[in-house]
Amino acid sequence: MGMTGKDTTEILRRRILRGLTLIIAFAAALVTLANVLKGYWLLATLDLMLCLFCTVIAWHHHKGHYQQWHSYAVMFLYILANSVVSMFGGLLSGLPFWLLTFPILLYLLFGKRVGLVGSAALLLIEVNILYFNTQIENTDAVISILINFVLAYIVIWVISHSYEMSRKSNEKKLVNLALRDALTQTYNRLALQEHFSQYLDKDDISVALLDIDDFKQINDRFGHDVGDCVLLQLSKLVRKTVGDDQVYRIGGEEFVVLFKDCTMDSLVSIIESLGHTIQHTQFGNDTLTINITISIGVSEVQDGTPLSQHLKQADERLYCAKRKGKNQAVFISTAPSVK
């Protein structure tokens, strides 16, 4: 079974969270010790709680027990701890530099929407906290430091946003490359496996296996360029007829069509119309046009039956259609064919 873009994103975010919890736990342990030595018991308690919580979360991740709220909880405690520390320490303590990590972590853990809104909200909150809790008589100096802090924050925010946009775009392209056939741009066998598992909860699903009759002769007589044109044009015609998200090229001249929530009467009507349209359509290139026909084998999905079994059954019915003279569809082994 393949992996979707959503799956890969979740794996990435879990790895980031696992690493983040370990880093935060270690840093919180050091800060806890420093605050104990300085007698800052409230800060030491908060940092110790953060350290222990992150350690527990990291242990759960090590055991494979991940839940979505872990990310929100760790990020909330991280923001809270840094905000409290900045409030007590002020601008000159150097602790506010940790606030610059907020946009990076928000985008990495939660994506564009939460990253954008969260980064904006936290910038406003933290600037107010720092301004009103910095004990410096020289107001101009405070404002100057705050301006530099805000500018650095915005630079990191913009970079984080750009990175997430680029990552999302590249991920989409990679998923498209993995799930689409290079020639016809229909879905491929991997996509068929992905989608079939998602459609199993539907009441009426049928798997139709389409094969171009005598396609080898087309390649041998007219060349593979013409054969590729035929495949491309046929895929466009089938997608236009039944829908782009239902057509899959699984190899050579074979295509699979998944029919969802389609009664047998509707299925027969659609396949009859498709076969008739293909038979009366001219395929080829600018210098050569040919006519083709297709044979089809159809299998109805039963609960719990794997895709491989349905493809095998559809393949048997497809070759039954071939033996009966091609240019027809077979729905059940003993039923008459549909031309």
Count of alpha carbons within 13 angstroms of residue 328, beta-carbon side = 17
Are the beta carbons of 330 and 298 closer than 8 angstroms?
yes
Burial category of 29 from C-beta neighbours within 10 Å (exposed 0-12, middle 13-18, buried 19 and up): middle
Q: What is the mean pLDDT of residues 37-58?
A: 87
255 close to 210: Cβ distance less than 8 angstroms: yes
User: Which pairs with CB-CB distance under 8 Å and at least 24 residues apart come from 66-71?
Assistant: 66/14, 70/17, 71/13, 71/17, 71/109, 71/110
Which tokens in the block code for residue 23?
A: 């880093």
Which residues 6+ apart lie within 8 Å of 59 measured at CB? Answer: none
334, pLDDT greater than 50? no
Catalytic positions, written as ranges: 253
Q: In angstroms, rounded to a whole number, what is the distance separating the alpha carbons of residues 97 and 112? A: 23
- Residue range(s) occupied by CATH 3.30.70.270 in the chain: 189-330
Mean pLDDT of the region 254-263: 88
Distance between start and end Cα atoms, the chain? 35
Residue 63, pLDDT score: 81
User: HEC states along 258-294?
Assistant: EEECCCHHHHHHHHHHHHHHHHCCEEECCCCEEECCE
Distance (Å, whole) CA 106 – CA 74: 11
Concatenated DSSP letters of 14-83? HHHHHHHHHHHHHHHHHHHHHHHHHT-HHHHHHHHHHHHHHHHHHHHHHTT---HHHHHHHHHHHHHHHH
In DSSP notation, 148-176 reads HHHHHHHHHHHHHHHHHHHHHHHHHHHHH
CB 295 within 8 A of CB 211: yes
Spatial neighbors of 49 by CB under 8 A, at least 6 apart, are 77
User: The tokens of 36 are what?
Assistant: 């104990």
More reliable by pLDDT, 40 or 217: 217
Please tell me the predicted confidence (pLDDT) of residue 336.
42
Task: List C-alpha distances in Å: 225 to 63, 180, 184, 233, 290.
Answer: 53, 20, 13, 12, 13
pLDDT for residue 93 is more than 80: no
CA 150 to the chain's CA centroid: 34
Q: Check: CB of residue 272 under 8 Å from CB of residue 292.
A: no
Highest CATH level, class, for 189-330: alpha beta
pLDDT tens, 125-184?
988 888 877 766 667 777 888 899 999 999 999 999 999 999 889 888 888 888 999 999
Q: 268 and 338 in contact (C-beta within 8 Å)?
A: yes
**Confidence band, pLDDT 50/70/90 cuts, at residue 243:** confident
The pLDDT value given to residue 304: 67
Rounded to the nearest 10 degrees, what angle do helices 112-132 and 102-110 cross at? 160
Q: What pLDDT is stored for residue 338 in this prediction?
A: 46
Burial letters 210-230, b for 16+ CB under 10 A, else e: bbbbebeebbeebeeebbebb
- 27 and 217 Cβ atoms separated by less than 8 Å: no
What is the average pLDDT across 292-305? 84
Q: What tokens does 132 get?
A: 């009103």
Residue 202 is classified by DSSP as S
The set of residues, in sequence order, having a beta carbon less than 8 Å from that of 44 and lying 6+ positions away, is 32, 35, 36
